[in-house]
């Protein structure tokens, strides 16, 4: 069984990935499991660039097949912000409650049809050789008038899925994993991994 490094220290992400990848023929490792202390600066201007940067860097440093992602919230009325800066919106030390208040204030008075938004996630899988492939998952929705729900993390309490009438923070983890941007990208990544090139050079 081959090792697959899930290059994140985010416990919520690890739990989601481990649930979705549970039937794959890989031993799933996290950054907590290997003696590798490094941070990869997200200098890309797109989710794809950042995911590739991280996956390739961790694969080369660890010598392991590595998976990394970049994801965030895109709000149409804010020109796609916070986008790739979702984790740093209002400052890297700002709480999500602070970010919620800022976003809701900026959207104050906008009707539902103008509060459209989406969660986007790009997953990159890389070999130590530098060979890399990416997949993308998107969940369309809109920004709620106020935070709701205790499940999930990040921007989940203010992201409403209109057809369900709930925010992603009001969904059970199993349901969220099926429909979320990360869940959709991870399902595509799982399909990619089932047919992954077996040579160390990452070639079929």
Specify the pLDDT at position 200.
43
**Domain assignment of residue 204, yes or no:** no
Say if residue 15's pLDDT is above 50: yes
Catalytic residues: 70
Structurally, the chain folds into a number of domains equal to 1
The answer to whether 183 and 19 are in contact (CB under 8 A) is no
**Is residue 138 left, alpha or beta, with left meaning phi > 0 and alpha meaning psi from -120 to 50?**
beta
Using pLDDT thresholds of 50, 70 and 90, give the confidence band for residue 43. Answer: confident
**Domain assignment of residue 199, yes or no:** no
Specify the pLDDT at position 202.
44
Specify the pLDDT at position 199.
43
Q: What is the mean pLDDT of residues 6-14?
A: 86
The 3-class secondary structure across the chain, one letter per residue, is CEEEEECCCCHHHHHHHHHHCCCCCEEEEECCCCCCCCCCCCCCCCHHHHHHHHHHHHHHHHCCEEEEEEEEEEEHHHCCCEHHHHHHCCCCCCCHHHHHHHHHHHCCCCCHHHCEEEEEEEEEEECCCCCEEEEEEEEEEEECCCCCCCCCCCCHHHEEECCCCEEHHHCCHHHHHHHCHHHHHHHHHHHHHHCCCCCCCCCC
**Domain assignment of residue 166, yes or no:** yes
What range does the domain containing 149 cover?
2-194
**Domain assignment of residue 200, yes or no:** no
Instruction: Give the max Cα distance, the chain.
Output: 56
- Please report, rounded to a whole number, the percentage of residues in the chain having pLDDT higher than 70: 97
**Domain assignment of residue 66, yes or no:** yes
Specify the pLDDT at position 152.
80
Dump pLDDT digits (tens) for 99-145: 999 999 999 999 999 999 999 999 999 999 999 999 999 999 999 99
CB atoms within 10 A of CB 188: 16
Using pLDDT thresholds of 50, 70 and 90, give the confidence band for residue 93. Answer: confident
**Domain assignment of residue 7, yes or no:** yes
* Residues ≥6 apart with Cβ < 8 Å to 111: none
Specify the pLDDT at position 198.
54
**Domain assignment of residue 136, yes or no:** yes
Helix axes 11-20, 181-194, angle to 10 degrees: 50
**Domain assignment of residue 111, yes or no:** yes
Q: What is the CATH number of the domain that holds 128?
A: 3.90.950.10
Phi first, then psi: what are they for 132, rounded to 5°? -145, 140
Specify the pLDDT at position 178.
85
């Amino acid at each position: 069984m081959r090792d697959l490094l899930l290059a994140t220290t985010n416990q919520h992400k690890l739990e989601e990935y481990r649930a979705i990848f549970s039937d794959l023929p890989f031993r799933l490792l996290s950054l907590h499991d290997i003696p590798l202390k490094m941070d990869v600066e997200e200098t890309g201007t797109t989710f794809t660039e950042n995911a590739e940067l991280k996956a390739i860097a961790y694969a080369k440093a660890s010598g392991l097949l590595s998976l990394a992602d970049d994801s965030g919230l895109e709000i149409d009325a804010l020109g796609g912000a916070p986008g790739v800066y979702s984790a740093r919106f209002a400052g890297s030390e700002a709480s999500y409650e602070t970010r919620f208040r800022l976003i809701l204030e900026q959207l104050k008075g906008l009707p539902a049809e103008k509060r459209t938004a989406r969660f986007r996630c790009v997953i990159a899988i890389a070999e130590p050789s530098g060979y890399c492939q990416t997949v993308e998952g998107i969940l369309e929705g809109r920004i709620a008038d106020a935070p709701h729900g205790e499940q999930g993390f990040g921007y989940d309490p203010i992201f409403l899925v209109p057809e369900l009438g709930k925010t992603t923070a009001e969904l059970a983890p199993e349901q969220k994993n099926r429909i979320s941007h990360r869940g959709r990208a991870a399902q595509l990544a799982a399909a990619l991994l089932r047919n992954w090139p077996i040579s160390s050079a990452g070639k079929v």
